[in-house]
Structure 1
Amino acid sequence: METNSLTRRQLGLRAALALAACAGGSQWLVPAQAQWGERSRVPLRVAVGGKGDLHHLPLTVAERLGYFRDEGLSLDIENYTGAPLAMAAVHSGRADIGCSDYDRLIESQALGFPCRCLVLMGRTPQLVLAASPRYWPKKPLNHQRELRIGVAAPGSSAQFFASLWLLQAGISARQVQFIGVDSGASAIAAFRQGHVQALSHVDPLITLLEQRSEVQILADTRSLKGSADFYGGPMPGACMYASQTFVQQRAREVQAFVNAVVRALKWMQTASPADLARVVPTEYWLDDRAAYLAAFEKGRATLSPDGLMPDDGPATALRAVARLREGQTAPKVNLGLTYSNEWVTQAKLKFQL
């Protein structure tokens, strides 16, 4: 992949974070001496890009089943069009906790915005690169004059995933344009109307198109094997994260938040389709309940059973990020500061996992 393409992606992320920082402030920090009773009355502000996507389902389950309330928490969840905007909200102080794929935390630290994974929700990114049969294989992608790939938002993990595939396939970055298509119905419409020739996205959207024979799958991380084959090892997926400052200032709320998410992950290990249908808001189904439930069953094994970051997961993510950098040089990051299992370990003790 050419350096100039990667630079545009990084500059876009840097600009989004810096712009949001100018709009925010530091008022979100609660004094360290505040008591737990006072803090619990202040809602935690959570930023998520594409809340209805399946890889964010543990957050929805914890919310809908009242697990946050059981921990004494009140949440304000803001849904953004993509993870980069959600991350910008965290960095600017407009949100306390964010949700994104773990690899974005490595990029964020390299750009000077360090955050720490609190709890891992997915053992893979659950991303899929799918092309329209109208364009492929009738005309190979590397012969396309210009290839437009739809992603939820520019600078997202979906763009990172597609960029890795393009590099592997020998397709020049100069041939590719990434188009933000959001999630759900808008992404489907962009694909069906030919505004994009391929999608780098997650379920339930991909399964719905797949069941209707509208896509040709090029790369798939909805299984542990598929993800490990693509990334060369265990690749962490969606996680909840916060700044180190927030973690130190609001330690007890952070632990309570992680407790609720770990409890949701435990519930999802044995939840039946009927259980899920009662919990998931109908607008997340994309008008196809059967496809949604089929997507969940297909990807169930990629859910983290307990929220722990695997020992070699961060190193796999760092190698993947390095592949898109000039000279295969890894970004200067301290992986130990991008995650911690301490909160999940405490939650596992509480729920006897």
Structure 2
Amino acid sequence: MQPSSGALRQVALAGGLLFAMALHGAHAADDAGDKITIMVGGITKLIYLPARLTEQLGYFRDEGLNVELLSQPAGVDAENELLAGAVQAVVGFYDHTIDLQTKGKDVKAIVVFGQVPGEVEMVSSKAAGTVKSMADVKGKTLGVTGLGSSTSFLTQYLASQHGIASSAYTMLPVGADASFIAAIKQGRIDAGMTTEPTVSALQKAGDAKVLVDMRTVEGTRAALGGTYPAASLYVQDAWAESHKAQAVKLAHAFVRTMQFIHTHSAEEIAAQMPADYQKDKGLYVSALKASLPMYTADGKMPADGPATVLKVLSSFNPSVKGKHVDLSATYTNEFVGAK
């Protein structure tokens, strides 16, 4: 007896459905194994410690993620790699999300590592006699990582708080780490903005002193008027929407790291890091101790943070000045809070 045409249609439909489900399952498995490339704006900087620490602790692996970390010292260049689609995420300063929104780019921070910049304005020992505060920088040369960088906007803002216009001093791009130290030693800059472990290295050598300390909430509030979320993981909105499962896993891995940082000593954290990050172990631990107050405990955005960042950027970033910015679109706590 031949099956009816209706029965044949049902068999074909069921077979097609099973085939589609199999394809979807295979695609989902592929998505889970997709490599996520993260560009870090200077991977050895302690402000970005959570990136490599998460890898070292095996938390990416625990979430079933295939993550590759790359390092690009300038945040602007890392941002360009993201927009070009060469990387899926950036570990860099949150302020890039505000700047990019004014340029029509939809990017948001999905994990916040630093509730403060972790930046320190250092004055060279040679200039320390005449430069006692940012009120004394008129006619001086100030080092920044790059022109148009976060350090340049922060430098201009700090000077403006003392009524000093950006035309009254020179900003010189000197990078970070060894190149910053060389600029101080060679007298090419009188002062400059940098992070740990460069700060501790300069202090240990006696080459520079702290002028403005934004490694703590107290120091940052005194300098900028509020918390200033900085180091963060940001992605393009389109990627977060199309890869929600991966975004949640990525956020979970980083939140575990933030909790690890808050429940372990500087010595215990340093023990997890690669040996080439800490050529001088004592110096590295000392720098880490000084940096611990800047990290968030849960990866969430501090409530007063975005407004402080916008205030600073609106003062000196030509892309942001006078523009309307929807701060709620520049970050989300959705992924760090997801179960």
Do they superpose with TM above 0.5? yes
| 2:82 equivalent to 1:82 | no
Does 2:60 match 1:68? yes
Q: Hey, what's the Cα distance between the residues in 2 that align with 1:224 and 1:63? A: 27
Q: Does the C-alpha gap of structure 1 residues 34 and 341 become closer, same or farther in structure 2, counting only changes over 3 Å?
A: farther
Q: How does 1:126-137 map to 2 (within 5 A)?
A: 126-137=118-129
Query: Map of 1:1-353 to 2, 5 A cutoff?
Result: 35-138=27-130, 146-285=139-278, 287-324=279-316, 330-346=322-338, 349=339
The gaps in structure 2 that reach 5 residues or longer are 1-23
- Is residue 208–residue 288 contact of structure 1 (8 Å, CA) maintained in 2? no
Q: 1:78 to 1:177 in 2, by over 3 A?
A: farther
Moved more, 74-83 or 259-268: 74-83
Q: CA deviation at 1:65?
A: 1.1
User: What is the identity, as a one-letter code, of the residue corresponding to 1:257?
Assistant: L
1:206: Cα distance to partner? Answer: 0.7
Measure the CA separation in 1 of the matches of 2:321 and 2:138: 30
* Corresponding residue number in structure 2 for 1:13: none
Aligned to 2:12: none
**CA displacement, residues 301-321 of structure 1 (integer Å, 9 cap, x when unaligned):** 221000011222111211222
Q: Residues 48, 172 of structure 1: CA spacing in aligned structure 2 closer, same or farther, 3 A cutoff? A: same
Residues 52-89 of structure 1: per-residue CA shift (max 9 Å, x gap): 00010111110111111111111222211211111111
For residues 295 and 136 of structure 2, what CA distance do their matches in structure 1 show? Answer: 37
> Separation in 2 of the partners of 1:300 and 1:281?
18
Q: Offset of 1:34 from its aligned partner?
A: 7.8
Q: For 1:330 and 1:315, how far apart are their aligned partners in 2?
A: 14
Partners of 1:227 and 1:234 within 8 A in 2: yes
Q: What displacement does 1:136 show?
A: 3.3
1:175-194 residue CA offsets vs partner (Å, 9 max, x unmatched):
43333333222221222122
Counterpart of 1:246 in 2: which secondary structure? helix
Shift of 1:174: 2.2
Partner of 1:23: none
Q: Which has the larger Rg?
A: 2
Residue 40 of structure 1 and its aligned partner are, at CA, apart by 2.8
How far apart are residue 234 of structure 1 and its match?
1.9
Q: Identify unmatched segments of 5+ residues in structure 1.
A: 1-31
How has the CA–CA distance of structure 1 residues 92 and 147 changed in structure 2, closer, same or farther, with 3 Å as cutoff? farther
Check 1:155–1:124 CA distance in 2 against 1; reply closer, same or farther (3 A cut): same
CA distance 1:145–1:300, change in 2 (3 Å):
closer
Q: State whether residues 51 and 91 of structure 2, in contact with CA within 8 Å, keep that contact through their aligned partners in structure 1.
A: no
User: Paired residues, what number?
Assistant: 314
Of residues 239-248 and 276-285 in structure 1, the stretch that sits farther from structure 2 once superposed is 276-285
Contact preservation (8 Å) 2:114, 2:296: yes
- Partners of 1:150 and 1:200 within 8 A in 2: yes
Is contact 1:154–1:178 with CA below 8 Å preserved after alignment?
yes
- Tell me, in whole angstroms, the C-alpha distance in 2 between the residues paired with 1:295 and 1:314: 27
Instruction: Give the TM-score normalised by the residue count of structure 1.
Output: 0.82
Please give the TM-score of this superposition, normalised by the length of structure 2: 0.85
Identity of aligned residues (%): 27
SS at 1:279 equivalent: coil
Q: What is the CA distance between 1:169 and its match in structure 2?
A: 2.7
Work out the CA distance in 1 between the residues paired with 2:130 and 2:294.
33
When the two chains are superposed, the root-mean-square deviation of aligned CA atoms in Å is 2.3
Question: Aligned letter for 2:276?
Answer: E
Change (3 A) 1:145 1:258: closer
